[in-house]
Amino acid sequence: MDLATTSTGVASFNVNVSKLGQNEIPEEYVKYYKDAGEKFGVPWTLISAIHRVETNFSSDLNTSSTGAIGHTQFQKATWLGWDYPGRDRLGDLKVADSILMDPAKIRQFRGFGTDCDNDGKANPFSLADAMCSTAKYLADNGGKKGDWRGAVYAYNHAGWYVNRVFKYYNSYTSNVKTVSVGSPATVVSKGGNGVIEKAIATGETIVGRSPYNFGGGRTIRDVERRSFDCSSFIRWAFSEAGTDLGPLDTTTTDTLVRLGKPVQPNQIRRGDLIFFDTYKKNGHVAIALDNNGNFLHDGSTKGVWKNNLSESYYKRVFKGVVRRIVE
C-alpha cells in the first residue's frame, strides 16, 4: 500500500511518510488516518503520532486515570461537549453511551465526537470515528490557521506531550519542514520605550476583564478569548508589541526568567519582568509599571490586575528576581 496516497487516490495534505513511518505505523490504520486528514485538512502523520502517543496504536485501550476513553483518549466531556451538565473539572462524565455517542446531542452540546463510519453513532472506540474526531479537534483548535503545536497543546495541556507527539510526527513525515521543539530566543529586544508602552497598553485593555486560567493562553483559541495565566499573559502583551518571548504553547515563567539580563530590585524600571516565589521558585511573573513597586499581571485572585510590591503578600513572595528584556 502506498502510505502517501489516500483511499481516493488524492494526496492527503501533501504528506509523504518516511522510512521509519513505513516501518512503524501499522498499515491497517493508515486508511483511517488519511480519510480523517483529508476530511479536516490535517496531516495524517500527525494523527498517527497522536494515536501512537495516546494508546500505542490501540494496544492499550484502558480508561485513563482521568476518565479518557477510546483509541485517541478523549475525555467524555470533550467528546459530548463541555456544555453537558455534570462533568468534573477534568472532563469526566457519568453518562449513558446512548447520549455520549448521539450525533445530535454532540451537536447540541458542542462536542467533537464525529460519526465518520456513518453508522448513526459517534463512537470513540470506532477507529474511523476516533481518528476523525481527533482531526476535527486539531483543525478547530489552531490547525486551520496552521498552528499545529497549539492544536496539539489544546489536545493535552502539557509541553512534554507536545514534544513527544512532534517527535513522532517529525520522524514519520518525510516532506514537511521539521517542527522545532527547541527553546525560545534569549535576546533582549532593542525596541525601547515604544515596545514597552505598547505591551503595557495592550495588557491594560483587559484589566478586570480576564479571569485567571492556569495553563491557559497557549492556543490560538485561548488567546482570542483572552484567557491567560501569568506567563502567557506576558507573552501575549509583548507579542502584540512586536517582541517574541517564546513559542505560544511552551512559554512559562521558567523560560521567561532566562530572557534578557538580571536587574537589581532598586533599579527596576517600567517594562521589566518581576518574578515571585509563589507555588514554586519564580512561579509568578508581572510587568513593572514604574520604579515605585507598581506592576501589571494576571493573578489567580483577580485575573489581570494591578498591584504593588509593598502589599503584604507580594512583599513576602518577591525575592528580588527581575529581568530586563527590552532596552
Which residue, among 278, 279, 287, 277, has the nearest Cα to 323 in the 3D structure? Answer: 287
Cα 159 to Cα 139, 183, 287: the distances in Å are 19, 11, 24
135 plus 235 within the same structural domain: no
Residues 168 and 197 in one domain: no
Q: Specify the pLDDT at position 209.
A: 95
Burial class (CB in 10 A: 0-12, 13-18, 19+), 24: middle
Q: What is the pLDDT of residue 68?
A: 93
What is the pLDDT averaged over residues 320-326? 91
Taking the mean position of all CA atoms in its chain, how far away is CA 56? 22
pLDDT tier, 19 (very low <50, low <70, confident <90, very high otherwise): confident
Tell me what pLDDT residue 280 has. Answer: 85
Q: Quick one: 157 and 27 in the same domain?
A: yes
Number of domains in the chain: 2
Q: Are residues 317 and 199 in the same domain?
A: yes
Residue 277 cell numbers, joined: 516565589
Whether 26 has a pLDDT exceeding 70, the answer reads: yes
Give the best-scoring range by mean pLDDT among 18-32, 101-115, 137-151: 101-115
Average pLDDT, the chain: 88
Look at residue 87 in the predicted model and tell me its pLDDT.
86
Q: What is the pLDDT of residue 184?
A: 38
Nearest to 285 by CA among 317, 314, 253: 253
Is it the case that residue 294 has pLDDT exceeding 50? Answer: yes
Does the residue 304 lie in any domain?
yes
Same domain, 27 and 165: yes
The whole-number pLDDT of residue 13 equals: 53
Whether residue 308 sits in one domain with residue 207: yes
Same domain, 28 and 153: yes
Say whether pLDDT at 289 is over 60.
Answer: yes
In a domain, 277, yes or no: yes
**What is the SS3 assignment for 246?**
coil
Structural domain span for residue 307: 192-324
Residue pLDDT, tens place only, 147-201 = 888 899 889 988 889 999 999 999 998 754 433 333 333 435 667 899 999 999 9
pLDDT tops 90 at residue 12: no
Counting Cα atoms < 13 Å in the Cβ hemisphere of 200 gives: 21
How far from the centroid of its chain's Cα atoms is residue 12's Cα? 24
For range 50-77, the mean pLDDT? 92
Give me 185's grid cell.
530566543
224 located within any domain: yes
The confidence band for 102, taking pLDDT boundaries of 50, 70 and 90, is: very high
Mean pLDDT across 121-145? 95
Distances (CA, A) of 94 to 48, 67, 99, 100: 29, 10, 10, 10
Residue 211 maps to a domain: yes
Co-location of 47 and 154 in the same domain:
yes
pLDDT higher than 70, residue 10: no
Q: Which of 115, 137, 172 is the last residue of a domain?
A: 172
Q: What is the pLDDT of residues 207-240, one digit of tens each?
A: 999 999 988 999 999 999 999 999 999 999 999 9
Average pLDDT of the segment spanning 140-148: 88
